[in-house]
Structure 1
Amino acid sequence: MDLPAVPVIEGFAAAFGRAPDGVWHAPGRVNLIGEHTDYNDGFVLPFALSRGVSVAAARRDDGVIEVRSRQAATAVTAPADGPPVVSEGWPAERAWAAYPVGVARVLREHGTGGASLLIDSDLPQGAGLSSSAALECATALALCDLHGVEIDRPALARLAQRAENEQVGMPCGLMDQSASLLCTAGHALMLDCRSGLSSQVPFDPAAAGLALLVVDTRAAHALTGGEYGRRRAECEEAAAALGVEALRDVKDLAGALGTLRDPVLRRRVQHVVTENHRVEASVGLLRAGALPEFGAMLNASHLSLRDQFEVSWPEADAAVDAAVRAGARGGRMVGGGFGGSVIVLTPVSRADGVREAITAAYAKRGWTPPGFLDAVPSPGAQRLS
């Protein structure tokens, strides 16, 4: 039994009066590059973190999902078979449970049933490290194992994505669920979000004398708000105007920009098309072992997200600027935007100075001090006990 499973096992016994049938863990993720490309049928390059969400679970045969969390006081009981959670108007204190209940309702079609679940997470909330997808994937693995349902992992990732889209009302792409289920230690995942095909790309910053830092900017985000959905709608509008299925299919960027009259749509297209190219170039750099050069890709991605896609935020911009001035190779905002985290690629010898520079930049502005996490490419979701 892995040690991370012990607290959630003990908590489950206290909450439900019996031992769980097992414990499953799914990691959060950091996306190296490829932001807002997933729902445009494009390319992404995430890797799994060592931190994530653990679910202790026991099978129930009454068709009920009972969900508790070590981080939330509210317990939620709901039928595993029901309408989209978003349509039921759950109050805010129950909103976190929409993810596991939503997964249960989607998987019900494939033969799963009820369960008692206790959730535990060591991911910082609101940091943009995909705690929601980790919760979905850990729940999905647990339900499949408990009810003897076999679904391959790429298909399970799509079902978890469907749960978030239909049940929670968040129009996310496929990246987060795929990263949580498919990543392997020491690698990033090159994922084609149209076909679902993926490959493992070696990613070992320490071997190159580098460190990848995750900076929690302490500006929490909530992507179920309108801005994320608006960006997706703008991309769909641009694709329709250009006569392509998705912006991934734009081959002549200059021609596309000349065709679109709306300056907002032009900016969105420019980001998505160039970001896809940055993903492909980054894969080449990583396979060649040219990790220091990858920093330039991070910087270019951040500028595009800030200026063309307009999803960055002041704390992220300040963190990237301070890191690069302190000697980092590059950095960028990660996640959907409007809050969350930044990643910084820095020589190990300069990592302490980079942290100090970012912290000083925040103090100068009177902001809450940032948090730091050393990001090590880790295994994907698995059963712990």
Structure 2
Amino acid sequence: MGEAGIAGRLEADPDIRLTAYVFSRVYGDLPQGAWRAPGTLTLLGGPEAALTVALPWGAVVAAAPCADGSELYSLNHHEGPLAPSPGMRPPPWALPCVRALESVPAGAGLRVAVNRLLPDQMGLLSGAETFSAVSLALRDLRGLEPSGADPCSLHGPARALLLRAGSAAEPVPFDLEAAGLRLLLVELGPGGTGPASSEARAGDTVAVAERLRGGDCTALGAMLTQAHRPGNEAADLALEVALGVGALGGRRIGRCVLTLAPVPRIRDIRTAVTTRLEGLTVRPPRFLTAVPSDGAHRVA
């Protein structure tokens, strides 16, 4: 790996290099690998059926074997190393790691540095991405296979997943690049809106998935708007403005408004939403543009 290890690979993604560098500073040794898992965004969903995609931003972990139990460090909270033990109450950021490590036999632990790529305040990361990345590290470094199917590993570019209760995940074509569309997330900032769970009926979610299988990505737009849960002034106004400027649909999720937008309209949507929200939010909104991303995998 070389003296600098993963952190010294100039061709590597900056988030991967940073995570590996912090691992070395915290633990005084080089990580033996790095793994990335996407954030899973539920476009439409309820208890019976959900349509999800992988976001480019999730979690990166750097890890190495540790014979004396496991240790965890968070880049986001500058907290650790934390050694999980029976009966302890780990901080929220560590819970997914502890769940992934709880069945590890004695002498098969890991040292882990965790880097979540979106702020907790956005309400978009559930912890599934961290659990997935740590589980992959256990598989590759300790030969311990994850228990059960991992949706973060099943995601991929140009597709969504249809998750139905009691059934295996079903890949669904969702090629936004080819359709000239993007998922545009409007992050409203502190106090913008609390986490919200906007549900769609299972039949509607499955119907949209069938439209996507037929190549009609625009079908998602109207159903997003139908699933929107109103009640926050900033979020409702942001969606109203986005729809008026050309977005095909949208709803709020976490502290964000998710919209489906044609690429040529994105700049106008950003400008119009920023202008209309001036004075209504603590700071100007921030925007993230995405298409479905890779599933969980080893990156170094």
Is residue 184 of structure 2 the alignment partner of residue 284 of structure 1? no
Aligned partner letter, 2:256: S
Change (3 A) 1:120 1:147: same
Q: Give, in whole Å, the separation in 2 of the partners of 1:354 and 1:112.
A: 54
Q: What residue in structure 2 maps to residue 6 of structure 1?
A: 17
SS of structure 2 residue aligned to 1:296: helix
Do the aligned residues in 2 keep the contact of 1:140 with 1:156 (CA within 8 Å)? no
Change (3 A) 1:96 1:150: closer
What do the CA deviations read for 1:35-75 (whole angstroms, capped 9, x no partner)? xx1xx3x111111112221111111122x221112222221
Q: Which runs of 5+ in 2 are unaligned?
A: 1-8
The alignment of Structure 1 onto Structure 2 pairs a total of residues equal to 288
1:108 alignment partner, SS class: coil
Is the contact made by 2:234 and 2:280 (CA closer than 8 Å) also made in structure 1? Answer: no
Task: Note if contact 2:36-2:59 (Cα within 8 Å) is conserved in structure 1.
Answer: yes
Whether contact under 8 Å (1:68, 1:118) holds in the other structure is yes
Task: Return the letter of the residue paired with 1:317.
Answer: D
Query: Retained in 2: the 8 A contact 1:54–1:138?
Result: yes
Q: Which residue of 2 aligns with 1:375?
A: 290
Q: 1:26 aligns with which of 20, 26, 37?
A: 37
Distance 1:276 1:79 in 2: 39
> What is the CA–CA distance in structure 2 between the aligned matches of 1:128 and 1:205, rounded to whole Å?
24
Cα distance change, pair 133–315 in 1 and its aligned pair in 2 (3 A): farther
Asked if the contact 2:19–2:114 (Cα under 8 Å) also holds between the matched residues in 1, the reply is yes
Mapped contact 1:104–1:112 kept (Cα < 8 A): no
| Higher strand fraction (1 or 2) | 2
Match of 2:99 among 94, 98, 102: 102
1:188 alignment counterpart? 160
DSSP 3-state at the match of 1:12 = helix
Residues 58 and 146 of structure 1 are in contact (CA less than 8 Å); yes or no, is this contact kept in structure 2?
yes
Partner amino acid for 2:21?
Answer: E
1:15 aligns to what SS in structure 2? helix
Counterpart selection for 1:145 from 140, 149, 161: 140
Question: Structure 1 residue 206: deviation in Å?
Answer: 2.7
Matches within 5 A, 1:307-318: 313-318=232-237
Determine helix, strand or coil for the equivalent of 1:214: strand
Residue 54 of structure 1 corresponds to which residue in structure 2? 60
In structure 2, what is the Cα distance between the partners aligned to 1:144 and 1:292? 39
Supply the distance in 1 between the matched residues of 2:194 and 2:247 (Cα, whole angstroms): 29
Partner of residue 70, structure 1: 75
Which runs of no fewer than 5 residues in structure 1 stay unpaired? 158-177, 232-270, 307-311
Residue matched to 2:5: none
Alpha-carbon offset, residue 124 of structure 1:
3.2
The answer for the alignment partner of 1:208 in structure 2 is 179
Partner of 2:6: none
The whole-number CA distance in structure 2 between the counterparts of 1:123 and 1:21 is 24
TM-score normalised over the length of structure 1: 0.68
Q: Name the residue aligned to 1:330.
A: 249
For 1:114, give the aligned amino acid: G
Cα distance between partner residues in 2 of 1:146 and 1:101: 17
Tell whether the 8 Å contact from 1:26 to 1:134 is kept in structure 2 after alignment. yes
Contact map agreement 1:126 1:222 (CA 8 A) in 2: no
The CA deviation at 1:315 is 2.8
Cα distance in 1 for partners of 2:189, 2:219 equals: 29
Shift of 1:277: 1.9
Identity of aligned residues (%): 33
- The alignment partner of 2:104 has SS state of helix
Offset of residue 113 of structure 1: 3.5
Say if 2:190 and 2:282, in contact at 8 Å, map to a contact too.
no
Q: RMSD in angstroms over aligned alpha carbons?
A: 2.5
- How far 1:129 moved relative to its partner? 2.1
Contact kept in structure 1, 2:67 and 2:107, CA below 8 Å: no
SS of the residue 1:134 aligns to: helix
* Deviation (angstroms), 1:352: 0.9
Question: Aligned AA for 2:291?
Answer: V
- Give the superposition deviation at 1:100: 1.2
For residues 43 and 344 of structure 1, what CA distance do their matches in structure 2 show? Answer: 20
Distance 1:366 1:217 in 2: 7
Relative to its length, the structure with more helix (as a share) is 1
Q: Which residue of 1 aligns with 2:123?
A: 128
Q: Deviations over 1:48-106 (max 9, x none)?
A: 112221111111122x22111222222142245x24x5xx3x5xxx432233123211x
For residue 361 of structure 1, what is the aligned residue in structure 2? 276
Name the CA distance, whole Å, in 2 between partners of 1:123 and 1:376. 16
Equivalent residue, structure 1, for 2:3: none
Given that residues 66 and 107 in structure 2 are in contact (C-alpha distance below 8 angstroms), is that contact kept between their aligned partners in structure 1?
Answer: no
**Secondary structure at the counterpart of residue 380 of structure 1:** coil
* TM score, norm. by length of structure 2: 0.86
The letter for the 1-side match of 2:160 is A
Q: Residues of 2 paired with 1:69 and 1:291: CA distance?
A: 37
1:300 counterpart = 2:297:
no
